[in-house]
Copies of this chain bind each other. A is one copy, B any other.
Amino acid sequence: MRTTPAEGMNDFLPRETEIRDRLMEQIVKSYRSYGFTKITTPIVESIENLDNSDGGDNLKLIFRVMKRGQKLENALQSGDPGELCDLGLRYDLTLPLVRYYSNNRTKLPDPFKCIQIDRAYRAERPQKGRSREFVQCDIDVIGSDSLDSEVELITVTAETLLSIGISDFTVRINDRRALRSVIESAGFDPADADSVCITIDKLDKIAADGVRAELLEKGFAQNAVEALMSILAGGVTADDLEKYADPAVAEGVKYVIGKSTELADGKYGIKYDVTLVRGQGYYTGAVFEIESPAFGGTIAGGGRYDGLIGRFTGENVPAVGFSIGFERIFSILAGGEAGGGRKKIALLYDEGQIAEALKFSASLRDGADVTLVKKKKKLGKQFGQLEAQGFSEARFLGEPDNVKVLGQNQ
């Protein structure tokens, strides 16, 4: 039997779980205080939905679940590997939400402001050091095409990060349509804009020279490539967008940046970034990302995906969401103290006294978590062990006034 978790999966120790649970609790509490309501969706979705969800590179990372019974037999006989699976593990929380909304919309408020905090799965290459099982924290507004929803999501996500002690971050904002306009104004064919975007998305990793080289390699005209690189090198502000983009798009970006900056009130940064792409193919308008140097890069991302719900319902419903990458935040905060938990008392009892011990522990359990522990012969050694396990007090059955305070000699 294999004792380590499956590749890329994680065991979390009691102390780690305590920190994770407390972080999730605080995030949900903050989201809820802005009137968002939490929902639960299954981890397993039909493979057709996942495969057709326009999730960019994530589609290559889907864990596929095999058919069972006679259906599996039939699939094996057909000889077509594509027929072998009928389900898959979700790679993010957006596709499940879109399906959920399509399935339950008559029972949901309009607009629907919702929270999901849950696991997703991606079969990342092990050498990348990324977890294959991870928690995302999403809020979404479905049914509103108002840019106020963008402002609300940005503000609520940023305030939530502040509430869990993260303060050194900047929200980068762009609009997919603005970037496309810049690309087209450089002389690219509109049909090539998506391909150009995919390359620009690598700017962080391969820098400007790498982007130029890849665009040329893709066979685009040298003029267009140089024109684009020159625009990007010069920098594009939200005000500059008037020169490139549809006036409504340019105004929209300025509106979101302006209101978000006002609400940030100097507590965190708001920045326009024309090179921000976000990988998913389903984004149609605003895209945003939160980056924090202390957390080694991107800790949250999102955007508007007005077309996705229409694939289920046939009727376009506007939607926008923002997702916090929980694992990155946890990996940094896990270095800190669990703290803030309830007092931990060890109640020592003797063989044969279990019933009395459980009864007596009720009187202590009001203000503390009480662990029943059998008394050992070497009490001094036992106190040391209890101390190491985080107990602040040892009590003794039948001696209500005897309190051994632990951790005093450290």
Chain A residues in the interface with B (C-beta under 8 A): 1-6, 9-14, 16-18, 20-21, 28, 32-46, 48-49, 52, 63-66, 68, 72, 76, 81, 84-85, 87, 89, 99-100, 102-104, 107-109, 113-114, 119, 121, 123, 132-133, 146, 148, 151-152, 155, 259, 262-263, 311-313, 342, 344-346, 354-355, 358-359, 361, 365, 368-372, 374, 385, 389
Given contacts A6-B87, A11-B100, A389-B109, contact A151 B40 (CB under 8 A): no
Q: Is the CB of B313 within 8 A of A3?
A: yes
Q: Quick one: which of B11, B103, B374 contacts A41, CB cutoff 8 A?
A: B11
- Shortest C-beta distance, A259 to chain B (Å), equals 5
Question: Are B68 and A66 in contact (CB-based, < 8 A)?
Answer: no
* Nearest residue, chain B, Cβ from A72: B81
Closest chain B CB from A192 CB (angstroms): 28
15 residue pairs bridging A and B, Cβ less than 8 Å apart: A5-B45, A11-B40, A11-B41, A12-B41, A17-B37, A33-B368, A35-B344, A35-B345, A35-B372, A63-B65, A63-B87, A113-B371, A148-B354, A152-B358, A263-B359
B65 touches A39 (CB 8 A): no
Contacts of A148 in B (CB 8 A): 354, 372, 374
Among B21, B76, B370, point to the contact of A33 (Cβ < 8 A). Answer: B370
With contact pairs A49-B2, A99-B2, A151-B355 given, residues A39 and B63 touching in the complex (Cβ less than 8 Å): no
Given A1-B52, A371-B34, do A44 and B6 touch, yes or no (CB 8 Å)?
yes
> Quick one: closest B residue to A33, CB to CB?
B365
Task: With A5-B45, A5-B100, A14-B114 given, name 10 new contacts (CB 8 A).
Answer: A6-B42, A6-B46, A6-B87, A11-B40, A35-B346, A43-B43, A66-B84, A68-B123, A148-B374, A263-B355
Whether A49 contacts B1 by the Cβ 8 Å rule is yes
What's the nearest-Cβ distance from chain B to residue A303, in Å? 18
Q: How far is the CA of A374 from the CA of B1 in the complex (A)?
A: 58
Contact indicator A17/B3 (Cβ below 8 Å): no
Q: How far is the CA of A146 from the CA of B40 in the complex (A)?
A: 40
Q: Contact: A152 with B372, CB < 8 Å? A: yes
Q: Across the two chains, which residue of chain B brings its CB closest to A113?
A: B371
Minimum Cβ distance to chain B for residue A59 (Å): 13
User: When chains A and B are docked, how far (Å) is the Cα of A354 from the Cα of B81?
Assistant: 52
Residue pair B355, A259 in contact (C-beta under 8 Å): yes
Contact B85 A66, beta carbon cutoff 8 Å: yes
Q: How far apart are A29's CB and chain B's nearest CB, in angstroms?
A: 9
Contact A11 B84 (CB under 8 A): no
| Top-5 shortest CB links A-B | A35-B371, A9-B42, A14-B37, A12-B40, A148-B354
How far does the alpha carbon of A265 sit from the alpha carbon of B10 in the complex, in Å? 42
Contact assessment for B155 and A43 in the assembled complex, using a CB-CB cutoff below 8 Å: no
Say which residue of B52, B64, B346 sits within 8 Å of A65 (CB atoms): B64
**A370 pairs with B13, CB closer than 8 A:** no
Distance, CA A374 to CA B366, complexed state (A): 45
- B residues near A5, Cβ cutoff 8 Å: 41-42, 45, 99-100, 103
A327 CB → nearest B CB, Å: 12
Contact of A11 among B1, B65, B104, B121 (CB under 8 A): B104
Among the interface residues A37, A45, A359, which one has the most CB atoms of the partner chain B within 10 A?
A37
Contacts of A10 in B (CB 8 A): 40, 42
